[in-house]
Amino acid sequence: MLKNRDVNISNPEKIEIISDSFQKQFGSSPDMIVRCPGRVNLIGEHTDYNDGFVLPIALPFETVIAACPSADAQMNLISEEFGPAHFSLEDNPMSTSGWGRYIHAMGTLLAQSNPELLGWNGYICSSIPIGANLSSSAALEIAAGMVFKHFGGLEVTHTELALIGQRVENEFIGVRSGIMDQMACALSQRNTALLIDCLTLETSMVSIPEDVTVVIMDTGTRRELRSSEYNRRRESCESVALELGVPSLRNASLEDITNLTDETLKRRTRHVVSENGRVLDVVKAFSISDSFTAGQLFSDSHLSLRDDYDVSGPALNQIVEVALGAPGCFGARMTGGGFAGSAVALVDRNEVNNFCDFVKTNFAAPKAQPAITSVMLYPVEE
């Protein structure tokens, strides 16, 4: 049986290859195949853990798992890129290192309310670039969660799977991330952005103006120890909320900021408050096909992340600057957690090829890496 998120499998050839690989490794056909996309966040950065708004969109990159159930708690997994991982759901996920821990922890958390949960054999491949701020780990968590759900007959919604994926990051990986990535991977639909209210977890679909193409620019840079800086930002926000006497920075206003004495905390708070406003303004601009205003808001967001929240990085700043000078660019910004990885631009659909050529030629990648490891256009031609 072929199983899919909610949409048709876009590339049947790919599914066949994965099915064959599973067969070679495990000696039988898979019982199910799931796929889960990565995401790029259009706007609303570092707002999710402040109960704010985010606007991600699904990528054409995806993680695919072919799987068969086991008779016991044993899990035998093979990643096309990273090799094997073997563990038992009876063991603590902390005893599994590397990528396998994401899946082990999903299983452990789901088993807390389903003690009979069995393991499975899985063959995994992914086209989502790792460490590029495009949610490769959330896609792995959600895809694995769907396999557990199916084989275990679990009554669990996509939102609940997202919340469990977030717990995996928080409790087993050590990143105190918000809910955006897992919600985006679990709930996005093709061709529309997903507005998420991270306080209520309400979502709505937002169309992108027809004259616009979203371009993702991977700088090729990756940053180690990102999680410690990330966690520090979150702590700052929590301490300001405490100082202001509000449940979270969702409830803070620009006037509140004047009451803060610490200059760094003032800047951090100004980013979160203004970024929440920008998300809603982009949604408004999209609704009237005002790509210029949306683009300007993207660029404002980048400056705020660079100067107030201090989460950009040299390569991200450089690629955004190049993009802003490229033909057809409405606006550009770093995307995701920041420090390294990818930026995103809103580009006039008619100028997209010129835009990409310009960025590839003019972005001088650090350490002689390829200028742009991947540029994806959205929507993809099929």
Question: Catalytic residue among 48, 181, 256, 308, which?
Answer: 181
Strand bridging mode 120-126 / 74-79: parallel
Q: Is 49 in the site for ligand GLA (CB under 6 A)?
A: yes
Map the footprint of ligand GLA across residues 181-210, applying CB under 6 A: 181
Helices (H) then strands (E): counts for the chain = 11, 11
Residue of 31, 45, 256, 300 interacting with ligand GLA (CB under 6 A): 45
Rounded to whole angstroms, the Cα distance separating 262 from 137 reads 35
For the record, the structure tokens of 108 come out as 């452990």
CB of residue 337 to ligand GLA, shortest distance in Å? 3
User: Strand, coil or helix: what is 126?
Assistant: strand
Of 177 and 221, which CB lies nearer to ligand GLA in the complex structure? Answer: 177
Please count the residues of this chain forming the interface with ligand GLA, following the rule CB under 6 A: 11
Piece of 71-79, 86-94, 113-121, 177-185 that binds ligand GLA (CB under 6 A): 177-185
CB of residue 294 to ligand GLA, shortest distance in Å? 18
CB of residue 305 to ligand GLA, shortest distance in Å? 9
224 DSSP 8-state letter? T
Cis peptide before 379 (omega within 30 of 0): yes
Strand bridging mode 53-69 / 32-43: antiparallel
Q: Is 46 in the site for ligand GLA (CB under 6 A)?
A: yes
357 annotated active-site: no
Q: What is the CA radius of gyration of the chain?
A: 21
Piece of 150-158, 174-182, 320-328, 339-347 that binds ligand GLA (CB under 6 A): 174-182
CB of residue 41 to ligand GLA, shortest distance in Å? 6
Q: From the CB of residue 253, how many other CB atoms can be counted at a distance below 10 Å?
A: 12
Give per-residue burial for 192-216: e unless 16+ CB within 10 Å, then b: ebbbbebeeeebeebebbeebbbbb
Q: Is 268 in the site for ligand GLA (CB under 6 A)?
A: no
CB of residue 275 to ligand GLA, shortest distance in Å? 9
Of 31 and 45, which CB lies nearer to ligand GLA in the complex structure? Answer: 45
366 DSSP 8-state letter? G
Residues noted as catalytic? 181
Q: Where along the sequence are the contacts to ligand GLA (CB under 6 A)?
A: 41, 45-46, 48-49, 177-178, 180-181, 336-337
